[in-house]
Structure 1
Amino acid sequence: MMKKTNENKIGDFYWAYADILRGIGINESMYDQRIMAFMALKLLVDNELVSFNFDYKKNFGLPKQTFLIYKGTDTKETLINIINGIKQLGSSKLQYFIQDKNYNIDGEDENILYYINHKKTFPLISYIEELENSYLEMVLDIYIQKANFKDYPKEEYKNLYETTISRMKKLSGDLTGQHFTQKSIIHLMCEYAVEDLKKSKSDILAIYDPACGTGSMLMESAYYFDKKINYTEKGNKRKKLKNITVYGQEMHGQTWLLCKIFLEISQIQNTIAHGNTLTNPAFDKINGDNSFDFIIANPPFGVDWKHDYDKVIANMKKEQNSNFFVIKDNNKIITPKKSDGQFLFMQHIINLLQVSKKHGKDAKAVVISSTGLITSGKETSAEGIIRKKIFQDGWVDTLLEQPKAMFTNTDISTLLWFLDNKQTKQNQVYLIKTDNSYINNHFKSKELKVLYTTARVKKDKQKNSYSDKNIVTIAKLLQNKQEFPLFSKWLQFDEKYTINFENELHYDIDTSSIVQDTFNIEESYQALCLALMFSDEINNKYSNFKETIDKLSSYIDGGFVDEFYEDYVNIYQKVCQMMQKNQKDINKKFQDMIIAQKQKEFENIDKTFKEIEHINTKVKISLEIV
């Protein structure tokens, strides 16, 4: 049984190495580069992907004759020699560390080990040289004792970079960062494509992420598709397996290298290109002539691309041969505003959907974006024209508005764009709103989450996630396109191509059939006054007086309905079951349940007011002033 490494113990090496860096005068903002450089090397060491280790007291784990080749005058010189010769020290366990050098940084070498020490990844030798020999030995001891990745679960490697970065940013006071995508969002995105991928005639399933970072989404999607496609629900491996291959592109050298390392450790077949997807996209087609099977992406929000403008325009001018879905207005190429490149990534992805369609292959994509992509810009603006073309051509199957607080460093609401190259619905889109304000209008202090849940482990601003049951329910909505105005509807576009989810899925139920105006509020306040002045005396005669007054108070301050929280939980559980079964007339059934519930609440409070009326009638108060 695999032993799970304690995350807190793993975290200890951050602080221990940071203490040394502080002692030699390194600025705190530069700690993370050094800590991750040694971490990257230690990941290879502990997973036996190189034939040496950090144990400098025992010849770095090398056979004696091999050690003599690299031996220097001290530990520092020896380690530098080993790093310089690391390409010759790769182990036989390496599977995907050789790839076409054109995908690698500056096309310098096909071997990823070459980039362990590189100016565009980690200048590891410089980090070694800045340490005195005794300090270097202390750093190596820290990583031996406090950063043991031997038994670290492979499925957790995708979180290691995020954990390292967040700790280091807190240390330096810089809390800005990337929008790391939690596992449950990735599962929901993948579930959209599972049934199509099961039916695919290809033995190879190719997944692509144009802004892949350290490969978190690629790793998790590969695990998810493998489980859902290559295994039965009972966990038995199918006779005919599909080989899952992932492709990605990343412009930052350090994260590109870590992505290659994490995927190698996870034994996921991969090709990861270094470079800017917008100016130099590495993949015209994936998986040969058949192109890709699924694209998953969380492009950066609000990133300025004005410096790339000339290259992007030059690419778009290729039109049919462009790497973008080219949009024109009056024969002029339309580009999104230069302060935000999200739509450029979308246009790149749609172009790949187009390519696959030309080859007769169904393909899907799911992209995360800010809500600004559907709300900003007038209809005549660049964003408005791009939106109009994308929706008119039917590329967007579904738009889903996520709840807030789904990411570690931002609590804004976000969108999932479910794209499909079948283009079955032009000029309309199916909407899903996971968090309708109507649901919690019932309560004063309670909160009910229906299509999402509270995160089991909260990280900074990330408070919410999707449970497996949530994903099943949403997946059924995606599949059946059921209209239930509380959560989902079809939207037909007319002149406007902006969407306000709150307006489109504003929900209310007419409960006027329930009589609610028979309560005598004057008597209520009289009873409250009596309670304040003579509660002990009245309670002696009417044993339920205090309970009645508490109910009355909760009615007046609006907290009365909180007592019925579990009733509403049951109602919404039934609603989810109905959505999963694609039952008809779900909206009417839901309204009937809500009206019945409101009737129950009315009867309960009516009983309370009758008790108040009875008390007011029977209690005689006599005040005598002497």
Structure 2
Amino acid sequence: MRSATDNIGRHLADYIAGFSENIRKIFERFEFDKEIEKLEESNRLYQVVAQFAEIDLHPRRVDNITMGLVFEDLIRRFNEAANETAGDHFTPREVIRLMVNLLLEPDTNMLTQAGVIVTICDPAGGMLAEAQNWIRAHNEQATVKVFGQDYNPRSYAVAASDLLIKGHKDGQVVLGNTLTDDPFPSQRFDYLLANPPFGVDWKAEKKTIDRWPNFRGYNGKLPRINDGALLFLLYMMSKFQDYQAGDRDKPGSRTAIVFNGSPLFTGGAGSGESEIRRWSIEPTLPPSTIHHQIKQ
């Protein structure tokens, strides 16, 4: 019995190493190896593992929905520890459901058709599973492909494990900076939704962005350096599907995004914030400025 406790750390590491690469990446971004070391140093690892060994978490006993609820509760409890950047936060589930309903409800007739294929993107991470759940609840035969990105390693791990735990196989969540790195350069999406971090500056990204001829197709003034939330909106608009009135093959895209008051109301006429707001709602703009018509 004592030998088992002496080698529990090595055995646990070997167990984790046996998973597929995509699951190992999640463990790595959670820095699980460091957690094992901390528990070993405090002589608590065996006790923790022993407690989990007594719990039957087999899918026959705990289905994906129940496991997802447990996971969400843990995220709520330890959210502050899991998000290290100011302004980065966990979006309450009821807020996500409201956004998903507003985003998808108008297209219910289309989304309930047989054989429909839907693509969804969340460039800030965290909302993909709920959007996928809505579509599946209305159309079990729908093919839903989700794409996401997050720059915070632990937030990425949360989003990736959320999809994994709930059994969403048609999903791809990538670790990276949405403002400077586009993991889906040629991809357009039917629906986009995000809750970008509030009041987070984009000073670190400015040198890279300044070298570009435009930002994701927008060549006007950019927002002030102390809040990059509107840059997420520009990224999302660059991913819109082509739209043409009356053409069923070009229905365009729909998007939902959460802002605080700053990007919505700050900045007078001619400022970056004002120009982006104007650009995002104008029905027509010169082709050199915008290459995707917004779905009205």
- Tell me whether the two structures share a fold, i.e. TM-score over 0.5: yes
Q: 1:139 to 1:157 in 2, by over 3 A?
A: closer
Task: Report what 2:269 is aligned to.
Answer: 379
Change in 2 beyond 3 A, CA 1:179/1:281: same
Note the 1:127-138 alignment, pairs <5 A.
Answer: 127-130=35-38, 131-132=40-41, 134-138=43-47
Matches within 5 A, 1:553-564: none
Q: Which amino acid aligns with 2:50?
A: D
Query: Are positions 1:283 and 2:198 aligned together?
Result: no
Distance (whole Å) between structure 2 residues aligned to residue 259 and residue 372 of structure 1: 27
8 A Cα contact 2:26 2:160, kept in partner = no
TM-score (norm 2): 0.78
Give the whole-Å Cα distance in 2 for the aligned partners of 1:182 and 1:310: 34
1:342 aligns with 2:229: yes
Greater relative contact order, per chain length (Cα 8 Å cut-off, separation 6+): 2
**SS of residue matched to 2:44:** helix
- 1:293 — aligned with what? 190
Q: 1:73 to 1:116 in 2, by over 3 A?
A: farther
Alpha-carbon separation, structure 1, partners of 2:56 and 2:162: 16
Aligned identity (percent) is: 21
Work out whether residues 87 and 197 of structure 2, in 8 Å CA contact, stay in contact via their aligned partners in 1.
no
For the 8 Å contact 1:364–1:421, the answer to whether it is kept is no
In the alignment, the residues of structure 2 paired with residue 161 and residue 211 of structure 1 have an alpha-carbon distance, to the nearest angstrom, of 20
Residue equivalent to 2:278 = 388
Task: Pick one of 102, 105, 123 that aligns with 1:194.
Answer: 105
- Higher percent of residues as helix: 1
> TM-score of the superposition, structure 1-length normalised?
0.39
How far 1:244 sits from its partner (Å)? 1.4
In 2, distance between residues paired with 1:296 and 1:307?
24
- Cα distance in 2, alignment partners of residues 143 and 165 from structure 1: 19
Give yes or no for the alignment of 1:352 onto 2:236.
no
**In the superposition, relative to structure 1, how do residues 197 and 356 fare at CA in structure 2: closer, same or farther (>3 Å)?**
farther
The question of 1:79 aligning with 2:13 is answered: no
Contact 1:362 / 1:422 at 8 angstroms: preserved in 2? yes
Aligned residues of 2:189 and 2:253 also touching (Cα < 8 A)? yes
Amino acid at match of 1:352: K
Matched, 1:122 2:6: no
Distance (Å, rounded) in 2 between the aligned partners of 1:263 and 1:246: 10
CA RMSD of aligned residues (A): 3.4
Q: Distance in 2 between matches of 1:167 and 1:382?
A: 32
Cα 1:348–1:116 shift into 2, 3 Å: closer
Q: Which whole-Å CA distance do the structure 2 matches of 1:343 and 1:135 have between them?
A: 46
Q: Is there any run of 5+ residues in structure 2 with no aligned partner, and where?
A: 286-291
State the alpha-carbon separation in 2 of the partners of residues 280 and 180 from structure 1.
22
8 Å CA contact 2:100–2:130 kept in 1: the answer is no
Is 2:87–2:198's contact at 8 Å kept on the other side of the alignment? no
**In structure 2, distance between residues paired with 1:357 and 1:158:** 38
Structure 2 residue 238 is the aligned partner of structure 1 residue 327: no
Mark the runs of 5 or more structure 1 residues left unpaired by the alignment. 1-56, 58-71, 91-96, 98-110, 231-240, 329-333, 396-419, 425-626
Q: State the 1:179 CA deviation.
A: 3.8
**What do the CA deviations read for 1:540-584 (whole angstroms, capped 9, x no partner)?**
xxxxxxxxxxxxxxxxxxxxxxxxxxxxxxxxxxxxxxxxxxxxx
**Are the aligned partners of 2:149 and 2:175 in contact in 1 as well (CA < 8 Å)?**
yes
Equivalent position of 1:12 in the other structure: none
Say if 1:301 and 1:159 are closer, same or farther in 2 by CA, change over 3 A. same
Deviation sequence 1:248-293 (CA, Å, 0-9, x none): 001111221232222112111210111000010211244xxxx321
Shift in alpha-carbon separation, 1:133–1:377, aligned structure 2, 3 A: closer
Measure the CA separation in 1 of the matches of 2:193 and 2:92.
Answer: 13
1:301 to 1:87, Cα distance in 2 relative to 1, 3 A: same
Residue equivalent to 1:44: none
Q: Give, in angstroms, the shift of residue 164 of structure 1.
A: 2.8
Tell me which amino acid in the other structure corresponds to 1:342: A
| Number of residue pairs matched by the alignment | 275
SS for the counterpart of 2:185 is: coil
